[in-house]
Every structure is written in structure tokens, then in C-alpha cells.
Amino acid sequence: MLTAFARAFKTPDLRKKLLFTLGIIVVYRLGTHIPIPGVDYKNVQECVDQASGNQGIFGLVNMFSGGALLQITVFALGIMPYITASIILQLLTVVIPRLEALKKEGQAGTAKITQYTRYLTIALAILQGTGLVATARSGALFSGCTVAGQIVPDQAIFTTVVMVITMTAGTATVMWLGELITDRGVGNGMSILMFISIAATFPSALWAIKKEGTLAGGWIEFGIVMLVGFVMVGLVVFVEQAQRRIPVQYAKRMIGRRSYGGTSTYIPLKVNQAGIIPVIFASSLLYIPALIVQFSGSTGGWATWIQKNLADPEAAPHIVLYFLLIVFFAFFYVAISFNPEEVADNMKKYGGFIPGIRAGRPTAEYLSYVLNRITWPGSLYLGLISLVPTMALAGFGANQNFPFGGTSILIIVGVGLETVKQIESQLQQRNYEGFLR
């Protein structure tokens, strides 16, 4: 593998792409450490140190921003507005006929949907930036911190507007950097930035586990966590690569003097067809009740019940509901992202058929049957992987950003595999040995 890396850097155009990608990553990481105007940086650092083991409901968003959210930096919102906008547009494509028609128009329609995604990203960044500033001013961003109410000392409207504009501009810059990587670098830009954001939190999280450990100075707990991490990575790689290949045969056709078709191929249906989307949906939905309680400041019975049962990741209702939501959203997302009737119609149009299955409606029913069967183990796998942080909280006293948590590992492994495959394909075009053997 090291030889393959060396050959990749020896190839001039591939070396330029790799170096360009690394340069964009450096710029992105620099932006996550530049504080925005109007924030007392000293008080922020004090609160971050006090909240390092308890980031509460902002833990997931902070992980996706590479720790920039709680630092309240220029890239505090990270790529979350873009991810949210992309998911919303993907869901609306199924509901709104105009968007569905654009999707079928090919490259021109895709470019138009991308433009809508950018507009929605800016709107969400303004909304989330305003919410973050309001949360920081009220002291709710760092619950329990002694100087939480002094993070934004200037309460003027002009200061608020400048802070929101700065974070919105930071989100637009992150979106631009991601598109630059996609166009001129290696891999999908947004996925690469998400990969870097999560990977940046690993060293501090692992060191925190070592410091909080009690056996042999924390090294035993550290070793156990690393062992669990390697096992999880192996399991995730195995399941992410697993797929059900449905054979497809194309009939031979004579057009003029040439013969077309007569080939055999397959439809790859992944076991985890939904990817990471169900976990993000379930996490976001479970955070809403806790957010309502935090912003309302209520101490009534309903608020106490939510704090005890839904906001606490170790509570049994939270675990059960989280697991069920992941399973539900896995089926929901697969249902809207893969249309068996459309696939069956396209196969019929080009003379394709599944051996033993009639073309048309029987093919669509067969694809639906197979998809439902493989979605069950995929959804259960997602649910079990996502519960690892909860078990770590109970077993090791780790924080909610346990480094080998389900969400982070799924993204790290998925993006890593896709990026390596892209480099592999470019190496094979030049008759070089690749990474995967």
C-alpha cells in the first residue's frame, strides 16, 4: 500500500490533485480556529474546558464541525447547513413534481438542483447562526459554566448581525472549498471535509479517555477502546462492502448490420442502502425535545421527564426510541431513494430482464421484495453500531463524543473507502498497482 501511495505521488496530475486536496484541508482547519468578532475568546476557552466531558445536545453538531461550534469560530456551523439542505432537497424531489422533472433532465437539471441547494444552505446558515448567537448570549451553549453568560459581552444588534454574517460567510466558504475539492482534487469535497472534521476530534477524545482511566494510568482503558475501534472498523468495512447482486440479462438486438445487447450484468443492492442518513435523522429528531426544554427553561413535570428519559443517552427510553427511529428511517429513506418501478421500466425499455422474472410489474415486485429483505439486517446493523457510544458512556465513563461512535465510524469508513476507490481507479488507468488487492 505504501508503494501505491508513492506511485500516486509520482504521477504528475494525480500528485497535483492530492496536494491541492491537502491544501484545501489545511485552509479548512485554519478556519475552524479563527474566532468570530464579538466573542470573548478567553471565556469561550474556559467554558470549553469545563464542558469537555459534557457537550450535551450540541455534541453531534460540534463533531461535524470539527470542534468549531463550541469554539464559536468562523467555520462554527461547518457543513451541517449544506448536509441539511441536501437532505431536504432529496426528500422534496420525491414530493414536488418540478424537482423530480429536473432530476430526470440529466446534467442541466442536476446543476439547477445544486443551485437550489446552495440557496437553501445560505438560508439555513443564517437561521442556525442566529440561533447559535442567541444560545451563546443566554448562556445555554455551555450549561454549568461559570462565565457562560459572558461569552458575548456586547449585546448590540450591530454586533449580532456581524456575527451572523461572519458565520454565514464561513459556511459559504466551506461549501466553496468542498466544491473545489470535487472539481480539482480527489474524492467528494463535502465528504472529505466531513471526514476531516470528525477525524480532528479523535486525538483529544482518545487522550481524554486515557486521562480519565484508572487502570494502569488509563492505558488499559485506552487499549480496550482502541481494540473495540479496530473491531468496529472491520465490521463496518465488511457490511459497507456487502451487497446483493441481482443478475440482469439484456436481449440481443440487430440494428442495421450491428448486433447490440446480449450481455450479462447485475444490479448491486447494498446491505446498508441508506448509508448514514437514518442515524442523522434519528439523532436530530431526538435532540428536538431537549432543545425545547433548554430554551423554555421550564422545570415542570414534562420537562423533568424529557430530561430524565430522552435527553439522557443512558436512559432506557432514549436507547429504545433511538434504535426504533434508526430502523424506521432506514426503511423510509430506502423507499424514497430507490424506486423499483423506475428501475424495472428502464430495464424493460432497453431489453433487460432478470432471469426467471417477467419484465415490467413482476420485476418491480421482485426488486421490492429483495430490497425489503436486505434492508432489515442493514437497519439493525445501523442501530447496533449507533448504540456503541451509549455502551461506552456506561462502561468507560466516556463523553458523548466517544471517538469510535457509530456516526463517526460510519462516515470515516464510508468516505475513506470511496476516496481510496477513486485513487485506485486513476492508478489503474495508468497501469499502476492500486491500494485494494
Amino acid occupying residue 282? A
Q: Which of 143-147, 168-172, 423-427 is predicted with the least confidence, judged by mean pLDDT?
A: 143-147
Summarize pLDDT for 350-368 with one digit per residue, the tens. 778 888 888 888 888 999 9
Whether the pLDDT of residue 191 is over 80: the answer is: yes
pLDDT of residue 338: 85
| 75, 77, 78, 80 alpha-carbon torsion, rounded to 10° | -170
% of the chain exceeding 90 in pLDDT: 9
What integer is the mean pLDDT of 337-359?
Answer: 84
Q: Which of 65-69, 150-154, 265-269, 403-407 is predicted with the least confidence, judged by mean pLDDT?
A: 403-407
CA distance to 206, 247, 298, 353, 405, per residue, from 69 (Å): 20, 47, 25, 51, 19
Whether the pLDDT of residue 371 is over 50: the answer is: yes
Whether the pLDDT of residue 113 is over 70: the answer is: yes
Radius of gyration of the chain (CA): 24
Summarize pLDDT for 142-169 with one digit per residue, the tens. 766 766 667 887 778 888 899 999 999 9
State the fold for domain 213-404: Preprotein translocase SecY subunit (1.10.3370)
What integer is the mean pLDDT of 277-293?
Answer: 78
Summarize pLDDT for 244-263 with one digit per residue, the tens. 888 888 876 656 666 665 67
Same topology, domains 1-200 and 213-404? Answer is yes
% of the chain exceeding 70 in pLDDT: 81
| Burial call 253-286: b when 16+ CB within 10 Å, e when fewer | eeeeeeeeeeeeeebebbbbbbbbbbbbbbbbeb
More reliable by pLDDT, 303 or 25: 25
Query: Phi then psi for 359, rounded to 5 degrees?
Result: -70, 155
How far is Cα 361 from Cα 178, in angstroms, rounded to an integer?
Answer: 41
pLDDT of residue 345: 87
3-state secondary structure of 248: strand
pTM tops 0.85, yes or no:
no
What integer is the mean pLDDT of 77-83?
Answer: 85
Alpha helices in 263-360 (DSSP H): 277-296, 301-309, 316-337, 340-349
pLDDT of residue 54: 47
- For the chain, the straight-line distance linking the first and the last C-alpha, in angstroms and rounded, comes to 9
Whether the pLDDT of residue 139 is over 60: the answer is: yes
Sorted by where each begins, the domain ranges of the chain are 1-200, 213-404
Look up residue 125 and give its three cell numbers. 446558515
Q: Of all helices (H) and strands (E), which one includes residue 2?
A: helix 2-10
pLDDT of residue 258: 67
pLDDT of residue 433: 53
Domain 1-200: assigned CATH number: 1.10.3370.10
pLDDT of residue 434: 52
What integer is the mean pLDDT of 330-359?
Answer: 85
pLDDT band at 405; cut points 50, 70, 90? low
Q: Which residues contact 278 (CB under 8 A, 6 or more apart)?
A: 325, 326, 327, 328, 329, 330, 332, 333, 379, 382
Summarize pLDDT for 43-62 with one digit per residue, the tens. 777 777 765 544 555 666 67
pLDDT of residue 24: 92
